[in-house]
Amino acid sequence: MSTSFQSKIPNSLNEHWMPFSSNKDFKKNPRIIVKAEGIYLHTHDGKTLIDGSSGLYCNPLGHGRKEIIEAIKNQLENLDYTMPFQQGYGGSFELATMIAQKTPEDLNRIFYTICGSTAVETAIKIAVAYFRSIGQKNRFKFVGRERGYHGMNIGALTVGGIPNNSKEFKNILMPGVEHMRHTFLPEHKFVKGQPNTGSELADDLEVIAKKLGGENIAACIVEPIAGSTGTLIPPKNYLQKLRKICDKHGILLIFDEVVTGWGRTGSAFAAQEFGVTPDIITMAKATTNGIVPMGVVAVREKIYQSVMDASPDGAVELFHGYTYSGIPVAVSAAIAVQKIFEKEDIFNRVKQISKYFEDGLHSLKDLNCIESIRNYGLLGGIDIKMRDKPGKAGFQVYKECYKAGLNIKPTGDALIIAPPFICEKKHIDEIVEKLRTGISNFAKS
Ligand SMILES: Cc1ncc(COP(=O)(O)O)c(C=O)c1O
C-alpha cells in the first residue's frame, strides 16, 4: 500500500454501516472517492472515473457547479435555517412557483420533503387525505407494480415491487396493497426506446380493481420508466391505458418521477414526454443536482383545494411534514438548478444527444454475456447473463467497470447507465468504450 493510498483512506472503516452495500466485501477492498469535478470522479488510489450514472442519477449537471455552490454559500450566510411549520421564508415560495411552471397541466401545488422515499410516503398520505376530504373514507388501498422502486420507508417499500427489499419486513408492510405485473417482456430484449407490445399489461389494474373494488383504491403508483430495476421502458400506449382505467374508477394516478423528473427523458417530466398527465408527481434527485437532499410532491389543484376546504379556518389542514421540508439550503440549491436548466436549455440538450447514446449503448450487443439492452432519453439498462446466482455477475461487472475507469450503478444483474445531461458525444463514447472493457474483462474472468 502506498503512502498516498493510506492517507486518503480513513483510519477505520469499521464503524460506518454502509447503506445498500456489501459491507464485508467493501471493507476488504475499499473504493473511496476523494474528489469530483465536472463528470469525473477521482479515487483514493489515483484512478479517474467517468460518472456514467450521474451518481445515483442525481448529479446530471455534473460535479462542482460553481453557480450552485455560490447559491448555497450565500443562503447559509444569510439564513441557514428556519422552521417550516407555521412560518416560512421567501425562497421556498419562489421555488414552488418555478416548479409549478414546469409541471404538466394543473399540478401546481408543491409540497417539500427530504428525499425520494419521503416524497412517495407523502404522496400516499396526500391521496388518502384527499379522499377523506371528499368523503370517500374507504379509499385507502394502493396499487404498485412488480419491479417498481419507490424508496425504503414502509409505505414506499410496500408499493415497490422488489422482493429482496421487502422480504425481511413482510410483517410490517402497509396493508391493502396489490401489484400489477411489470412491463418487461421477452421480446423487448434489444428494443430501442418504447416497445410496441405489452400495453395490455395495464389491464392488470382493471383486474385488481375488480378484486379490491375500484371504489376502495386510492391510487395507482408507477415510475413512468422503472429506473432502479434496470430501465424498463413503458410499452407504447401502456401509460395511456393506466390513465383511462384510473379515470374509470376514480383512482388517482401517481407518477414517481424521482429518476425521470427534470429532464432525463428529454422533457421536464416523463408525463409530458409520454403525453399522460398523472394526478400527483414525486421528484427528488436532480432537483438539487443531488447536492442537498430534497424531495418534492406536485399535486393537482383539486386535491389541494379539497384538503384545504375540508378544514376550518385556522386549523392545520394536513398533519404531515418534516423538520427539513424545504429548508433554505436545499431550496437555494434547487433554485440555482432551475436557472441552469433554463440557461443551458438542458432538456433539449438531452433530447438531442439521446439518439447518439442509444446507438452507442446498442453497439455493445455483440458481447455474448449481455442478455438485453434498453434505453430512453439519457437512461439505459443492460442485463448481464446470470452467473451462479442472481446479482453476482452484475456486481462483478460493476467492479470491472470501476477498474476500467467507469462509475455505473448495478442492481442485481442489471447495469444502470444514466449519463449526466451535460455530457458530450466524446463522453458517451468514453462511457461505451469503458463499458465494453469492463464487461469483456468480466467475461474473461
Ligand atoms: C423512482 C424512485 N423513487 C424513490 C426513490 C427513493 O429516493 P431516496 O433514495 O432519495 O429516498 C428512488 C431512489 O432511487 C427512486 O429511484
179-188 tens-digit pLDDT: 999 999 999 9
Q: Indicate the average pLDDT of the chain.
A: 96
For the CA of 151, the closest atom of ligand 1 is 6
Counted residue by residue, the chain has a size of 445
Atom of ligand 1 nearest to the CA of 153: 11
> Looking at residues 405-413, what average pLDDT do you find?
96
Atom of ligand 1 nearest to the CA of 295: 10
The arithmetic mean of pLDDT across residues 403-407, rounded, is 98
> DSSP string of 100-137?
HHHSSTT--EEEEESSHHHHHHHHHHHHHHHHHHTT-T
Q: How far is the CA of 257 from the centre of ligand 1 (A)?
A: 9
Q: Is the pLDDT of residue 137 over 50?
A: yes
Question: How many Å separate Cα 39 from the centre of its chain?
Answer: 19
Q: CA–CA separation, 115 vs 324, rounded Å?
A: 10
**283 CA from centroid of ligand 1 (Å):** 9
Q: Which residues line ligand 1 (CB under 6 A)?
A: 56, 115-117, 120, 149-151, 223, 227-228, 256, 258-259, 284
Q: How far is the CA of 51 from the centre of ligand 1 (A)?
A: 19
- pLDDT interval class at 10 (50, 70, 90): confident
> pTM to 2 decimals?
0.97
**Of all atoms in ligand 1, which is nearest to the CA of residue 156?**
4
Q: Residue 294 C-alpha to ligand 1 middle, in angstroms?
A: 11
**Ligand 1 center–CA 408 separation, angstroms:** 16
pLDDT by residue (tens digit) across 427-444?
999 999 999 999 999 999
**Element holding 299 (H helix, E strand):** strand 295-299
Q: Is residue 386 over pLDDT 50?
A: yes
Tens-place pLDDT, residues 47-88: 999 999 999 999 999 999 999 999 999 999 999 999 999 999
The pLDDT-based confidence of 11 (bands split at 50, 70, 90) is: confident
- AA identity, residue 376: Y
Residue 7 has a pLDDT of: 55
Which among 270, 278, 301 has a CA at the least distance from the CA of 100?
301
> What's the rounded Cα separation, in Å, for the pair 50 and 62?
11
**149 — pLDDT class (breaks 50, 70, 90):** very high
Phi and psi (nearest 5°) for 187? Answer: -75, 0
Evaluate if residue 1 carries a pLDDT over 80: no
- Of the candidates 439, 390, 396, the residue with the CA atom closest to the CA atom of residue 412: 390
Q: What does the block give as the cell for 207?
A: 383486474
Q: Residue 306: its pLDDT value, please?
A: 98
How far apart are the CA of 441 and the centre of ligand 1, in A? 31
Rounded CA gap, 374 and 361, in Å? Answer: 8
Please report the pLDDT score of residue 9 as a whole number.
78
